[in-house]
Chains A and B, each alone.
Chain A
Amino acid sequence: MDYKDFINQDTEWLKGTGPSANIVMSSRVRLARNLDKVPFSNWADKGRLEDVLVAVKDAALSTGGLKNALFVRLKDLSEVDRLFLVERHLMSPEHAENVDYKAVVVDPKEIISVMINEEDHLRIQVLLSGSNLRECWKIADSLDTELSKKLAFAYSAKWGYLTACPTNTGTGLRGSVMLHLPALVFTGQIGKILQAIAKLGLNIRGLYGEGTDATGNIFQISNQVAMGITEEETIDNIERISNQVVSREDSTRKTILTKNKEALVDRISRALGTLKSAHIITSSETITLLSAIRLGVDLGIVKTMDRRTVNELFLLTQPAHLQELDGRPLNANERDVKRADLIRSKLK
């Protein structure tokens, strides 16, 4: 299997399955680790970077969970290919820059990925569909333990895992959930919720764009601190807060459905109409309209498609995915046409 084949499969985090999948799109755990006695990636010379790359590759590919994983050196990839992996959340946007000694290890199901020589030597990431943070942590934890039998990690008894950025020092863990919150945005409650979450020591931000007008009504909640708190406590915190937001979104959806159904149906139907008839459409308009369709599917208003298809469209309409589908580079105008074509063919 080649990473290019990913385009023909549903990436795990967009499967639309798992607990609370109508609101929680995906869950992710990321662990930052560094090799002991080796300068961090941004400060190491070329020789050391190559050593790290080879050592982590060998260790990763010989662990149970990653035996059949793909190993990709980023300098062997075109810019579009790299962006393709970023859009699939298999690596960070930062990882796609200055790629000389960078690589990524991805399991064929796209659940686990290990970035090599991001700002830390290893960024272990586990992504699952739905509200599944605990399971993500379980997988990441055991992979980390496996890797630690082969690699000595930089660690201090007092401060835990030592990372390039002091904000990650401690557990090196960043847990996050991606929530689709159209009803809370529609009713204007989202502002208060953003404030409340920030006060609880968690981060919340839009997946596409910032603040309350996050395109597509997709928000990401994650932990802010990594020291003085265990991994389990961190996961619990995020999950607890996330569950509260989810139940608020859920009840608001029901309220709108009983009190304001016509306005809701109108909005969703118009979105569907636009997507079905557009011949030129931008990425941002697409995301906004798909958010409405997804709500329609979740509430049983749109019956002609399922959640999986909507999720698939979220991904396939992104710039690099369109270009991979077409097999050639496209400029922004060409992409807008291609995007509209693709959507019309999927919504027929």
Chain B
Amino acid sequence: MFCEVCGKKEATVHLTEIINDKVTKLNLCEDCAKDKGTEMEEHFGLNDLLAGLADLGSTTEPELLEKVKCPSCGFTYQDFKKVGRLGCGDCYETFKKQLGTLLKRIHGADRHTGKIPLMVGKTVKDTRNLQDLKARMEKAIQTEDFEEAARLRDKVKEIEKKGKEPA
């Protein structure tokens, strides 16, 4: 199967998108999926739904990523590969693409469900709500329950809007 956008490369990424309660399925090559991913993220914040995209960062631009330094501690992903330890908490943000895949492989999950420290309590609870909703939406799409998916998407939008309003 060829990519539906460029029509040149093999389609390896298969997306399901909801636009105005209508479901669209898209078969894309990695490059086009990446462009699409950015677009979708802007529109819906649905980047998580891009199947197989977690690895994209590391498969498309390995050399570039090796050179990225953590702005807080100067650690590179190369350093991490060498010592198996990270440099600081911000490294997680810096290398989130590679680490996301790695964490999932290690723990079989890539979302913390445990203790929430006092100081960040409220904001974290909102974020976790959002994560839960997105995960449920993902599941709804997988099981082709699109009505439920659309309902959840509206909820996600609502929370995201609230988060942007000044407190």
Residues in chain A within 8 A of chain B (CB atoms) = 34, 36-40, 42-43, 119, 141, 144-145, 148-149, 152-162, 164-167, 169-171, 173, 201, 225-231
Contacts and interface: CB of A to CB of B under 8 A. Distances in A.
B77 interface: no
Contacts of A145: 118
A43 B111 contact: no
B88 A39 contact: yes
A144 B114 CA distance: 13
Given A227-B107, A227-B109, A160 B87 contact: no
A42 B80 CA distance: 12
A140 to B, nearest CB: 10
Given A119-B85, A227-B111, A167 B106 contact: yes
Given A153-B117, A165-B84, A228-B110, 18 more contacts: A37-B72, A39-B73, A40-B88, A145-B118, A155-B120, A155-B124, A156-B93, A156-B112, A158-B110, A162-B89, A165-B85, A166-B86, A169-B92, A169-B103, A169-B107, A170-B107, A225-B108, A230-B113
A223 B129 CA distance: 27
Contacts of A34: 88-89
B25 interface: no
A231 B114 CA distance: 6
A78 to B, nearest CB: 28
Contacts of B109: 225, 227-229
Given A148-B117, A228-B108, A42 B89 contact: no
B60 interface: no
SS class, residues of chain B in contact with chain A: loop
A297 to B, nearest CB: 39
Interface in B112-132: 112-115, 117-120, 123-124, 127-128, 131
A155 B111 CA distance: 12
Contacts of A166: 86, 99, 102-103, 106
Contacts of B119: 148, 152
A153 B84 CA distance: 21
Contact of A154 (B88, B103, B112): B88
SS class, residues of chain A in contact with chain B: loop
26 contacts: A34-B89, A36-B89, A39-B73, A40-B86, A141-B115, A144-B115, A148-B117, A153-B117, A156-B112, A157-B112, A157-B120, A157-B123, A157-B124, A157-B128, A159-B92, A159-B111, A160-B115, A162-B86, A166-B86, A170-B112, A201-B108, A225-B106, A228-B108, A228-B111, A229-B109, A230-B114
A171 B113 CA distance: 8
Q: What class of interface size applies to chain B in its complex with A?
A: 35 or more
Nearest to B72: A37
Contacts of B75: 43
Contacts of A153: 117
B104 to A, nearest CB: 9
A38 B93 CA distance: 14
B94 to A, nearest CB: 12
Given A40-B87, A170-B112, A173-B114, A226 B107 contact: yes
Nearest to B123: A157
Given A159-B92, A162-B92, A228-B108, A43 B73 contact: yes
A179 B120 CA distance: 38
Nearest to B117: A148
Contacts of A36: 89
Given A156-B92, A158-B127, A148 B118 contact: yes
Nearest 6 CB-CB pairs, A to B?
A: A228-B109, A160-B112, A154-B89, A227-B107, A157-B127, A171-B114
Nearest to A163: B86
Nearest to B115: A231
Nearest to A170: B112
A171 B89 contact: no
A159 B103 contact: yes
A229 B113 contact: yes
A226 B103 CA distance: 10
